[in-house]
Amino acid sequence: MSARYSWLSVAMQRFGQLSCLSQFMVGALLGYGMTFKDAFLALTLGAVILEIVSIFVGIAGQREGMSTAMLARWTGFGRHGSSLLSLVIAISLVGWFAVQNAIFASGMQSLTGGLPFWGWAVACGLAVTLVVTFGFSAMAWFAYVTVPAFLVLAGWSIASALSTHSLQSLINSDAPGPALSLTAGATMVAGSFIIGAVVTPDMSRFNRSAFDVVKQTVVSITFGEYLVGLIGVLLAHAVGSADVVKIIVTTTSFVGIIILVASTGKINDWNLYSASLGVVNFFQSVFGISVGRTTATLVIGACGTLLSIWGGLQQFTGFVIVLGVAIPPVGGIMIVDYFVLRRQRALLDRSAIHGLAPDASEAWNPAGLFSWAIGFLVGFYISVGIPSINALCAAGLSYWLIQRVLVPFYAKLTSRTPKGDGDIQASTNHSFNKD
């Protein structure tokens, strides 16, 4: 508890994750393909998904003081399952790191032309990696600088746009680009930050109370999605483009680019931080190797930088849509296991008295992995409704049914004494062993 921070300090970092280029890009993509009204609805639906997941898994992380990778061991995935989850999340976050880094390099190259694209990508990747090696306190100070600067930029951009367009005309104007459906838009919004929502325990473990988690989530996500997203929508309508760099150059000139690319580091430091925690858990669980977080940070930062040079930015839209259905099932399973089934709560409570993590955990929990697969398939193939919500609910419901119906049925079935030819045969009373 001595390492906990005030909710405002943590909220500033959470808002910093949303006041960045990728969220600005999502807003611009929505505005380019949707009317203001439809874009507003897409942002609302996406934000609700993110807040529900963030609050519940965040409270679990705050209560246990554990990162997502650690917490997953006792919330539906087991030791090896959490290792697999850690690897998937780490890969996803490295992808996000590459996307953000590529946007930074593209912006700086357009602004100065002093270095080639790859040179700016290396410079940004190295700078963010060095900040993350110093941990939470350094990342907090980084947020205190970049978040206010981004808010100034957002106000400047929209003021510039309104000097040549009326707000009413922008709100009522048609989408300048090809039409984007509401379901695709909402999924894009959720997908753009769903990784951040699922790994909320990495951040909320620094909170002092569950109410602090709720406050920081509601304030940061609601404010972030509407402020950043809707400004992106309006500017896309004003400029008639989804190109973030073109929008910023058009409305704020080179100063806006400097502020915007600087804010990229604020989201990328958390991408790198959470990825490093996942990798550390993976190597410890699978190979029994203790890898330092600093070492993991340096290696992952280098990989993400190379990926951004290779071409991470070109796959942005498809990338966030896939994440929008692949990651929500994880949150659904963790929420059901921790708050509804409470399978490992007694074990966690006993160990928490001593300020330690439990010394035992399931090796595998097939129900969690199977439900994860069901959630992804439902979200990916069923187009009715919002795919992210479909995936989250399908995974949570299937996990609950398996644990409440199939597991007791299997235990009852295997515990019966078999009979044959009228003779009672001796048998071992097999109980279902979750380990």
pLDDT values of the chain reduced to their tens digit, one per residue, 435 residues: 788 888 888 888 887 777 766 777 888 899 999 999 999 999 998 888 889 889 999 999 999 999 888 899 999 999 888 888 888 878 877 877 887 788 777 767 776 777 888 888 898 888 888 888 887 777 777 777 777 777 777 777 777 777 777 888 888 888 888 999 888 888 888 877 887 888 899 899 999 999 999 999 988 888 888 888 888 888 888 888 777 666 766 666 666 666 666 666 667 777 888 888 888 888 887 888 888 888 888 998 898 888 888 765 556 556 666 776 788 899 899 999 999 999 999 999 998 888 888 888 888 899 999 999 999 999 888 877 778 788 889 999 999 999 998 878 777 777 765 554 444 333 333 333 343
3-state secondary structure of 362: coil
Pick from 239, 257, 255: which is nearest to 247 by CA? 239
Pair of tokens at residue 297: 């940070």
> Exposed/middle/buried for 420, CB within 10 Å: 0-12, 13-18, 19+?
exposed
Residue with tokens 């099932």: 329
Quote the pLDDT of residue 434: 41
At 424, is the secondary structure helix, strand, or coil? Answer: strand
What local confidence, expressed as pLDDT, does residue 387 receive? 81
Whole-Å CA distances, 239 to 114, 248, 286: 27, 10, 51
| Pairwise CA distance, residues 165 & 240, whole Å | 12
Task: Confirm if 80 and 287 have CB atoms less than 8 A apart.
Answer: no
Q: For residue 128, give Cα distances in angstroms to 26, 114, 136, 275.
A: 22, 20, 13, 13
In whole angstroms, give the CA distance from residue 379 to residue 385.
10
- What local confidence, expressed as pLDDT, does residue 399 receive? 96
- pLDDT for position 427: 37
Confidence at residue 263, expressed as pLDDT on a 0 to 100 scale: 66
Threshold 0.85, pTM exceeds: no
DSSP code at position 66: -
Structure tokens at 352: 């928490």
Check residue 270 and give its pLDDT. 75
Residues 191, 25, 153, 309, CA torsion sign: positive
| Amino acid identity at 354 | H
Q: What pLDDT was estimated at residue 423? A: 43
- Secondary structure class of 423 (helix, strand, coil): strand
Query: What are the distances in angstroms from CA 305 to CA 81, 101, 274, 292?
Result: 28, 7, 16, 20
**Contact in structure between 24 and 367 (CB atoms under 8 Å):** no
